[in-house]
Amino acid sequence: MEAPHSPAAEKAVAGSARLSIESPVQMQDLGRRLAKLLRPGDLVMLTGELGAGKTTLTRGLGEGLGVRGAVTSPTFVIARVHPSLTGGPALVHVDAYRLGGGLDEMEDLDLDVSLPESVVVVEWGEGKVEDLSEDRLHVVIHRVVGDTEDDRREVVLRGYGERWAELDLA
């Protein structure tokens, strides 16, 4: 749930799509396809249960952007920067799970400095990073909960701001 007090969070959804994903391979492929829409300055927020596929999606984004280094969960280092191998934007991959202080704590990471020339992807960023940019892509991944090996996911893409108004997210 987005922070109701945040002006950026109150901005209307510019575009949205709902997708069914059947496997981790499809989740990674979704990341590669979304990477084609991304450009420097884009903020992508990922929301979902543990094991939903946030890092798998980000791995696909990294492949699609052509960045250096293996994209793995930055849970214990909080943020990783993957420079571009193709002259495109770097991928800044942040895991805000352990950060509880909202934007104040996030400011210590200097994401506002990285944002203009990079694609910044924040796992667990809901309620914490909306004020970094009026334009953002919010990806919500729903999975079957409980003790199951069901790989199906329902993915909701929501673009906020002018940047996403003209793009077809489906």
Q: Which of 96, 87, 85 is nearest to 43 (CA)?
A: 96
- Report residue 127's pLDDT band, with 50, 70 and 90 as the boundaries: confident
Q: Are 2 and 155 in contact (CB under 8 A)?
A: no
The type of residue at 33 is R
For the chain, give the secondary structure using H, E and C: CCCCCCHHHHCCEEEEEEEEECCHHHHHHHHHHHHCCCCCCCEEEEEECCCCCHHHHHHHHHHHHCECCCCCCCCCCCEEEECECCCCCEEEEEECCCCCCCHHHHHCCCHHHHHHHEEEEEECCCCCCHHHCCCEEEEEEEECCCCCCCCCEEEEEEEECHHHHCCCCC
Which pLDDT value is given to residue 12?
Answer: 66
- Chain centroid offset of residue 47 CA: 8
Write down the pTM of the prediction.
Answer: 0.84
- Report residue 9's pLDDT band, with 50, 70 and 90 as the boundaries: very low
Which pLDDT value is given to residue 158?
Answer: 94
- Report residue 3's pLDDT band, with 50, 70 and 90 as the boundaries: very low
Which pLDDT value is given to residue 29?
Answer: 97
Sequence-separated (6 or more) residues with CB below 8 Å from residue 64:
31, 32, 33, 34, 35, 36, 38
How wide is the angle at C-alpha 168 spanned by C-alphas 7 and 56, nearest 5°? 80
Which pLDDT value is given to residue 8?
Answer: 45
